[in-house]
Structure 1
Amino acid sequence: MEVSKAYRDRRLVEKVAEAIRKEAPPQRLKIMHVCGTHEQVISHYGLRSLLPDNVEVIAGPGCPVCVVPAREIDEAVTLVLQRSEVMLTTFGDMYRVPGTHLSLAEARAQGGDVRIVYSVSDAVKLAEEHPSRQVVFFAIGFETTAPTTASEVFNGPPRNFSVLTSHRLIPPVMELLMGVAETYFDGFICPGHVATIIGTKPFKLFPEAYHMPTVIAGFEPLDIMVAVKHIVDQVARNEAYLVNEYKRMVKEQGNPRALRLLEEVFEVVDGYWRGIGRVPLSALRLKESYVEYDARAKFNVEVKASRDLKPGCSCHLILTGKLTPNECPLFDKACTPRTPQGPCMVSSEGTCNIWYRYRGYPQKYLR
């Protein structure tokens, strides 16, 4: 059997589910993942339907598009509407995310030159093809995508290329959640793709400092169910340690070359997360030695006061795992993928968008 098929094998998944049901302690357990792809797999395969009623998997701030603050979208909108020489490029998921007043899609409708690209290298190519234009790449994403931005900047792109950075780091926001009022979950499932870059060491903080069971997991149904079982076992024994369930891809040292690029090009600064607020040392900014590629410095972008959430939107509570999408009064009423009221409904990795497509909890495990 192929490896990928084995990790989707119904018999194996149900065997792990049965072990979870037998070994789960009687108290209610909440396990938080911080990855949009994990939520996609959980909902697509109906994995919640296999868990006992007292074991709940909740989504945290794992959607990179959803946590981009309105202020930074406003910066991109202002740049492309006020400067005719600017060609603003970004990923498709960012296109319809609302800013305070406009999304990039609406800015384009008002005459702004906004283009969707599949990678930062596509944006660099546009800069080479249009030397008379200023091509700005709106760079979003976690540790997984930040190295590609760093690589292009390090390699010396054309002078008419610059970056509007909105990269964020996962471990700092996980640590912030540990200190938000009472800790309301009992274990972390960590994103495997982030761990392929940063390695396992940054995640050891949670079991060692906070006694929080922590598992790095891959992206197949069996990966996630095994991660849940590890956490259930640790809670039952009142233990906490880090498990690397995704050993086939994640090494302890991560990706040294990618880490060197990040360290060379970026400095770590405090960052604002949409719906969460300021998170210490959670954002990346271009170092002074690369300031010629920093769009904020290059164009002196200024915006007025911003607003992250529309009235009634519960994205801040969904991003922190305090509500599920169907508990939001706007979900599937005023807020749908066609009429999104918040970022969680726009992105394909947003929890609300995923629940709208798969209806979250009720779906049975797919054959």
Structure 2
Amino acid sequence: MLQSFKMALKSIWGNKMRSFLTMLGIIIGVASVIILVSLVNGQMSYMTEQFTSMGTNQINVNVTNLSSRSVTVDQMYQFYEDNKNLFSQMTPKVSLSATLKNGTESLTNTTVSGVSEEYLDMKDQTLDSGRFLQYSDVLSRQKVCVAGYYVAWELYGGAEKAIGQTIKINGYAYQIIGVVSRQDEDELKAGGSDDVLYLPYSSAAKLNNTADINSYVFATADMDHSVEAKEAINSFLYGIFKDEDLYRINAMSELLNSLNSMMSMMSMMLGGIAGISLLVAGVGVMNIMLVSVTERTREIGIRKALGAKKRNIMQQFVIEAAVTSSLGGVVGILVGSVATTIIGSAMGMNATPTPGAVMVSFSVSVGIGLLFGYMPARRAADLNPIDALRSE
């Protein structure tokens, strides 16, 4: 075995250019698999982080209140209190399309939401300055609000400077009582995660000129019971509306699971497409090994005449094919790893070679060497020693 390995290396080194061209297909195939799979996994990690920041334990509920069938905030809170074993937090939510102004400065892309005093904890966020909304603010419809970091900097020049200042929301004056800590460490931008404003949902409903609140957010007490929690909400709302078309329940954990399944399928599909190049490379290995057998027919005849057995000849050529594809696999791993890091950085995401992609692509490359090296090796082993010796 060791002797066959040494002979394989000697043969590869003796035909450097031919060996490199044979390996090139393996190198491209292995690198392609690693790059594509790693980039998909990097994108999946990024999207998972985005979902996590939105709260994977959250369930969003939207209802369509009718004059004959409707659900009130008090009813939703009573349901929440009756199911504390399933839910840790709950807040009504009112979305506003608003223009924010401070003097001549204005913002039009800010996400303005009416929420309860529990919303900050639900989002797992902290305050940079001031305080968050309190139950008393909601109860008395106080004209107070909590600004995102971008809003504070853009309109007032800093978080501390914004505290106590007046901001106009669609022309109505509100006092800023707090500033949320910065969420996006890379940049502050309009429409980003820091371009937000929170006010009491009771005040937001008044701004919207509506008495009905149609959106609620629940936080599950345990991620493992998210399906049970969703079913409880569904049962409660169906008992009121008697029509599933009048409400919608979306569990973030289910959306994340669906996303992960789709991305995993895409990763496998792209890996399979890239793997086709490995199959093509295997044909190249087989062709080169057939050429090698033809060139070394006389050498095979001499070895057989000196007592080499059939299995020895097969072993020599199979090992040579496996070593060729293995070396190509190693180079492909290095090329794929470097390329993945460079491409990931260029695309602005953290893409690193995944151990699974590396192991699978390398194993396939070695397997292809063994598989496609078998036929040339079998042909060499079946040569008649007398005919082989007479070969020129």
- Indicate the structure (1 or 2) with the bigger Cα radius of gyration: 2
> Using CA pairs below 8 Å that are at least 6 residues apart, which structure has the higher relative contact order?
2
TM-score greater than 0.5 by the shorter chain: no
Tell me which protein shows more helix as a share of its residues: 2
State TM-score, norm by structure 2.
0.23
State TM-score, norm by structure 1.
0.24
